[in-house]
């Protein structure tokens, strides 16, 4: 039987990647540091996934196991497994790299030359390539040739909205939307790619990475920040506001025009993709908190992320960007005392003003035309009484 280790037994791990693997008949062992999740998975070997869309149903994922990712037995599993996936968040990839390196070293010492593919399923561009770089920091140089020969670090793009579960009575229950997309780079596999329904192979991953980033992520974050300014609590409430919906759609069309120019996407098909995503935001069964989507505004204002990268594309191709500008201005208005990045952003704004803060986090020139336009929108949007 094909085996896989999945790092991260959180909602995305259980509700998305782990489920696809298990549905494909692969025996999945979740590796996590949360003792409650690990204990429950070890005891039950199954969990429910509530899938909510036009129809609501519950699937039961079976035949799974779990291990505390700090246990030395995990190295033995890595030495013998067929596939490794992750859904831990970009910062945790750095933390698991040492464990992966130790497990791979044991694998090579055993003479296991069977192909092993490692797929980081993160909201990070080329996350598997990044993980490879982290693993190489810990791997004995004697094993570099074996790593290159038998271990594939396969980049992927993942898309599924997985809010906190509505089923509070069961720690393993997870709620997901019907839509899911897992696109992987066909060219990076060692050996034949595994047959997994729901995993799509492509020779042009960056087109799909940016399509998701510029459409779902851009639209989601602008909905959150405009919704927060309007006093809404959830994404569903915000997107039901006709004014917010119109601005979010227009911003997605601006970023979409960049994609059409850059990758040759069909205009009508991309418009349909935008409409599908707007429908996903409005899903009445997904109670998605604005503060979940809006958290970590500093990361989301980075030059390679969902607000600034599409804006830079509009500048590159001479495309209208008024609604992206407004979404960026709204990000600087975002307040959340429970989010350290939101607190830091507001503290820097208070100390240094918008121009210097904008330049620091986004890389845009403080004295440039774009910064001036963002500043105009910021002054128009920010709540009265703010300095």
Give the CA dihedral 243, 248, 253, 256, nearest 10 degrees. Answer: 180
Which residues, 6 or more positions from 158, have their beta carbon under 8 angstroms from its beta carbon? 12, 16, 17, 87, 121, 122, 123, 181, 182, 183
HEC per residue, the chain: CCEEEEECCCHHHHHHHHHHHHHCCCEEEEEECCHHHHHHHHHHCEEEEEEECCCEEEEEEECEEEEECCCCHHHHHHHHCCEEEECCCHHHHHHHHHHHHHHHHHHHHCCCCCCEEEEECCCCCCHHHHHHHHHHCCCCHHHHHHHHHHEEECCEEEECCCCCCCCCCCCCCEEEECCCEEEEEHHHCCCCCCCCCCEEEECCHHHHHHHHHHHHHHHHHHHHHHHHHCCCCEHHHHHCCHHHHHHHHHHHHHHHHHHHHHHCCCHHHHHHHHHHHHHHHCCCCCCCEHHHHHCCHHHHCCCCCCCHHHHHHHHHHCCCCHHHHHHHHHHHCCCCCCCHHHHHHHHHHHHHHHHHHHHHHHCCCCCCHHHHHHHHHHHHHCCCCCC
Task: Compute the chain's Rg from CA coordinates.
Answer: 22
Helix crossing, 242-263 with 322-332: angle to 10°?
120
Sequence ranges of the binding site for NAD(+)? 4-15
Sequence ranges of the binding site? 4-15
- Beta-sheet pairing, 83-86 with 3-7: parallel
Distance CA 328, CA 301 (A): 8
């Amino acid at each position: 039987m094909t085996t896989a280790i999945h790092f991260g037994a959180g909602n995305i791990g259980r509700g998305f990647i782990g489920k696809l693997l298990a549905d494909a008949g692969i025996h999945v062992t979740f590796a996590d540091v949360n003792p409650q999740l690990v204990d429950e998975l070890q005891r039950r070997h199954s969990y429910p996934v509530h899938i909510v869309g036009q129809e609501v149903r519950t699937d039961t994922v079976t035949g799974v196991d779990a291990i505390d990712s700090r246990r030395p037995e995990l190295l033995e599993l890595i030495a013998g497994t067929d596939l490794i996936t992750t859904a831990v968040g970009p910062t945790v990839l750095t933390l698991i790299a040492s464990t992966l390196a130790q497990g791979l070293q044991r694998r090579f010492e055993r003479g296991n030359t069977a192909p092993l593919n490692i797929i980081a399923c993160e909201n990070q561009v080329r996350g598997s390539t990044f993980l490879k770089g982290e693993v190489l920091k810990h791997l004995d140089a004697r094993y570099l040739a074996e790593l290159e020969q038998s271990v594939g670090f396969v980049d992927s793009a993942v898309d599924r909205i997985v809010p906190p579960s509505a089923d509070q009575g069961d720690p393993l229950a997870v709620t997901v939307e019907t839509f899911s997309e897992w696109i992987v780079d066909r060219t990076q596999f060692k050996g034949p790619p595994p047959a997994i329904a729901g995993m799509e192979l492509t020779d042009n991953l960056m087109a799909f990475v940016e399509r998701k980033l510029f459409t779902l992520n851009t639209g989601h974050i602008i909905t959150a920040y405009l919704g927060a300014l309007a006093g809404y609590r959830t994404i569903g409430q915000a997107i039901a506001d006709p004014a917010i919906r119109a601005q979010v759609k227009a911003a997605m069309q601006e970023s979409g025009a960049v994609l059409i120019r850059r990758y040759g996407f069909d205009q009508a098909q991309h418009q349909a993709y935008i409409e599908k995503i707007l429908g996903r935001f409005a899903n009445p069964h997904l109670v998605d908190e604005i503060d979940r989507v809006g958290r970590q505004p500093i990361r989301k204002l980075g030059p390679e992320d969902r607000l600034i990268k599409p804006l830079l594309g509009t500048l590159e191709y001479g495309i209208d960007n008024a609604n992206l500008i407004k979404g960026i201005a709204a990000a600087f208005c975002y307040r959340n005392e429970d989010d350290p990045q939101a607190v830091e952003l507001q503290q820097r704004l208070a100390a240094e003003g918008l121009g210097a803060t904008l330049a620091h986090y986004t890389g845009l020139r403080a004295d440039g035309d774009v910064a001036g336009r963002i500043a105009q929108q910021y002054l128009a949007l920010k709540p009265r009484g703010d300095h």
